[in-house]
Amino acid sequence: MAETSILSTLGAVIRRDLLLALRRKSDVLTTLFFFVIVVSLFPLGIGPEMAMLRQIAPGVLWVAALLATMLSLPRLFAADHADGTLEQMALSAVPLGVLVTGKIVAHWLLSGLPLALLAPVLGLQFDLPADALGVMVLALLIGTPVLSLIGAVGAGLTLGVRGGGVLVSLLVLPLYVPVLIFGAGAVESHIGGLGATAHLSLLAAFLALAAFFGPWATTVALRIALE
C-alpha cells in the first residue's frame, strides 16, 4: 500500500511539472532551440568536408546536449522555491526524496528526452550513417538522465544564491566530463568498427550510480538551502 502511495505521488509530481512546463513553453523551447542552433553552426562554419564533419559529429552533439541541459538547470527548483512550494514539499508527509525524484524525471522528460530524439535529425548534417545515429540516440538516452541527476545536485546547492546559474555550471561541469567522454566515445568507437558496447556499459554504470546517489544528495542540498 505504501509503495502504491509513493508511486502515485511520484506520478503526480511528474504530471504537475509537465503541466507547468506547458504553460511556460518558452523555457522548454529555449533549450531545444539552443541545441539546434549550436549543432547547426558547426557544419556552416567548417564547410562541406564530410570526413571532418563525421569525425567531429559525436563530440559536437554531446557538447551541445550538455550545454543545453545546463541551460535549464537553474529553473529546476527556482519557481517552487520562490512561491514557497518547496518548503511545503519539505514539510509534507511524503519523503522529500520522492518529490525530488519526480522533479528530476520531469526535467529529463522536458530536456534530455527531446534532445535525444532531435539528435538523429541534426546528425544528418554531419553525414553520419544510420547505425551511428542509432548508437548516438541510445547513448543520449542513457547519458542525459545522468546529466539531469548530477545537475539537480548542483541546482540544489546553489538554490537562492545570487549568480547561481554560473555557479551551478562550475559545480557540475567537471562531473559531466566522464559522461561526455564515454557518450561521444560510443559513437566514435562504433564508426571505427570497435563497437560501442563498452562505452554504453560504462554510461549505464554511471546512470545506476547517479540514480542511487543523485536524489539523496539533492534532498540533502535542498534541506541545507531551506534552512
pLDDT at 4: 65
Contacts of 219 (CB under 8 A, 6+ apart): 96, 97, 100, 156
Contacts 24+ apart (CB under 8 A), 173-178: 173/70, 175/150, 176/66, 176/70, 176/147, 176/150, 178/206
For residue 179, what are the CA distances in angstroms to 41, 157, 210? 23, 21, 11
Lowest mean pLDDT segment, chosen from 5-14, 15-24, 123-132:
5-14
Per-residue pLDDT reduced to its tens digit, 180-203: 999 999 999 998 888 889 999 999
DSSP secondary structure letters along 45-75 = HH-S-HHHHHHHHHHHHHHHHHHHHHHHTTH
Q: Nearest to residue 146, comparing CAs of 98, 187, 76, 202? A: 202
What are the cell numbers at 13?
509530481
Q: Reduced to 3 states, what is the DSSP secondary structure of residue 94?
A: coil
pLDDT at 89: 81
- Distance, in Å, from the CA atom of 151 to the CA atom of 11, rounded to the nearest integer, reads 21
Which whole number is the average pLDDT over 129-155?
A: 92
Per-residue pLDDT reduced to its tens digit, 84-97: 778 888 887 778 88
Give me the sign of the Cα torsion angle 105, 20, 163, 180. positive
What pTM does this model have?
A: 0.90
Lowest mean pLDDT segment, chosen from 57-61, 134-138, 192-196:
192-196
Residue 1, pLDDT above cutoff 60 = no
Q: What is the domain range of residue 127?
A: 2-226
Per-residue pLDDT reduced to its tens digit, 34-53: 999 999 998 888 877 888 88
- Distance, in Å, from the CA atom of 211 to the CA atom of 148, rounded to the nearest integer, reads 10
Domain count within the chain: 1
- Distance, in Å, from the CA atom of 38 to the CA atom of 44, rounded to the nearest integer, reads 11
Task: Report the mean per-residue pLDDT for the chain.
Answer: 87
Amino acid present at 3: E
For residue 32, what are the CA distances in angstroms to 35, 69, 212? 5, 9, 28
